[in-house]
Amino acid sequence: MTGDFVPLYAVYPLLFTDRGVSPAGISLLFAVWSVTSFAAEVPSGVLADLVSRRLALAAASACFAGCFVLWTFAQTFAGFAAGFVLWGLSGALSSGAWEALLYDELARTGAREHYTRVLGTTESLCAAAALAGILVASPLMAVGGYGLVGGCSIAMVVLQGLVVALLPRAPLPSAPPRSSAPSPIPQPPSPQPASPRPASPRPASPRPASAQLPSAQLPSAQLPSPQPPIPQPPSGLTDRLAPALRSGLLAAVPFATPRRLTVGIAVLVGACSFDEYLPLLAREHGAATPLVPVLLAIATAGQVAGTALAGRADRLSPRRFGAVVCAAAVLVAVGAAARPLGWFVALAAGYGLLNTAMVVAQGRLQHTVPDECRATVTSLVNLAAEAGVLAVFAVYGFGSRSLGVAATTVVICVPVLAAGLLATRWLPGAQSSGGQLLVEVRAGIAHPVGMQKDEPLVGPEPEDGSQADRADIDDEHDGAAVREAQRVDEQREDQQ
């Protein structure tokens, strides 16, 4: 939360403009940010699954602090672009790792069903911290300009890194109390006199001559047949990257529910990225620079309220969820197009509803993926979301020249409206998503949930144990698991 108390959030687009960067140039900088996140999203999620999610979060804080150092002391286009590269790496390192860590810690305490509520509360607190930072930006700008704003932002992000390094693990559920009644002490059995073993009347048979020969002199027909080598799980980090990525792909790509959720989340996250252009929108409507942080604070207050309501909205049916998304699209479009600055309240309300929908969709996604590859799957979804963000930045980059920022924001609301109208097609119901995993991962292979641990998916392994045959068996395991889990997924959709 301390990493969101960043006063520079309120004025960094104005910093770019005051240093001679055009709106199209700002969109290019945003594209550098998004492409970096796009390229690093999946590798960072795999590393978070294999190494440490806390370490990934600490590295994200270091990259974030480096971004603001560049923006404070190297205020050129190249410095801004390098800062966005570091910010993109920070976002990629933290996105899948943070959500997976939160879900795992709740699972350790037996409270995974509260994930959406806790995530919404956390996002609301982060938005409240961002709101406080935005409100502080105006007096800081009046006292020390961009230099003081940047220095305070660096200090808060460094504090965030220290907090991440000291994060404790959630305690395991306490074991049930033992009974205080004394347990009976078992008495040792009474010793029995050992009866002498009668000597065998049969004479000891001599060993055959072949058994007395060393193995090198045995005939080839009597040599023991070589046993196939027992496959060992990969131990090195590089050896585990490919199986971890494969498990994440098998858990997300072949199934209709995660695929459709991924598209819906990409639309919502991409639409929420219009907030990067809110300072430019306010200036286009005639707001003075000291007033811009205040208007941005109104929009952030909507985000605080929207994320705080995500826990209650988690029980919404897909149809009512779609109505929320449609209302968000209409409110944002009206607030962006209306000239009086008072309409920013409508834009803030729509922005809050967009954040509500985004948190609910992300929460239902987490209930459909296994623990072993949770960060990888989340990063794959965030990869699609970054593609949506990049598309929004491209629309602003080309549309702001001819249409302006306000009209381009209205265009961005069109796919959001379509996602709301089609919500029953891509969002699973609250009851069907609660804790029902589609697949589970065992030994690097995705299996349909409900299959016994020793139940074979295919025939037994060949006796020769060659490496090529083992690769074929792995492919058969994956294919059979995917086909069976697809069948289960289709049955659930038919029931809904």
Q: What is the pLDDT of residue 193?
A: 45
Q: Report residue 128 CA to chain centroid gap.
A: 22
State how far the Cα of 47 lies from the Cα of 157, in Å rounded to an integer.
Answer: 23
State how far the Cα of 92 lies from the Cα of 88, in Å rounded to an integer.
Answer: 6
Quote the pTM value: 0.62
Q: Give the residues of the chain that fall short of pLDDT 50.
A: 172-189, 191-216, 218, 220-221, 223, 230-235, 254, 432-478
For the chain, what are the domain ranges?
Answer: 2-168+239-433, 439-495
- Kindly give the residue spans of alpha helices, DSSP state H, lying in 5-50: 12-18, 23-50
Q: Which CATH architecture has domain 2-168+239-433?
A: Up-down Bundle (1.20)
Beta strand ranges found along 395-476 (DSSP E): 439-442, 445-448
Report which residue type is found at 18: D
DSSP 3-state of 437: coil
DSSP 3-state of 203: coil
Q: Tokens standing for 205?
A: 């048979």
Structural contact between residues 387 and 344, judged by C-beta atoms closer than 8 angstroms: no
State how far the Cα of 238 lies from the Cα of 236, in Å rounded to an integer.
Answer: 6
Cα separation values, 100 from 57, 96, 124, 334, 373, Å? 11, 6, 18, 36, 9
Q: What is the pLDDT of residues 388-446, one digit of tens each?
A: 988 998 999 888 888 899 999 999 999 999 999 999 988 887 754 444 444 444 444 44
Q: Tokens standing for 451?
A: 């299959």
For 213-251, letters b (16+ CB in 10 Å) and e give eeeeeeeeeeeeeeeeeeeeeeeeeeebbebbbbbbbbb
Q: What is the largest CA-CA distance in the chain?
A: 114
DSSP 3-state of 291: helix
CB count within 10 Å of CB 431 equals 10
- At residue 441, what are phi and psi to the nearest 5 degrees? -110, 125
CB count within 10 Å of CB 179 equals 7
- At residue 409, what are phi and psi to the nearest 5 degrees? -65, -35
**Residue 286: left (phi > 0), alpha (psi -120 to 50), or beta?**
left
Q: Report residue 263 CA to chain centroid gap.
A: 15
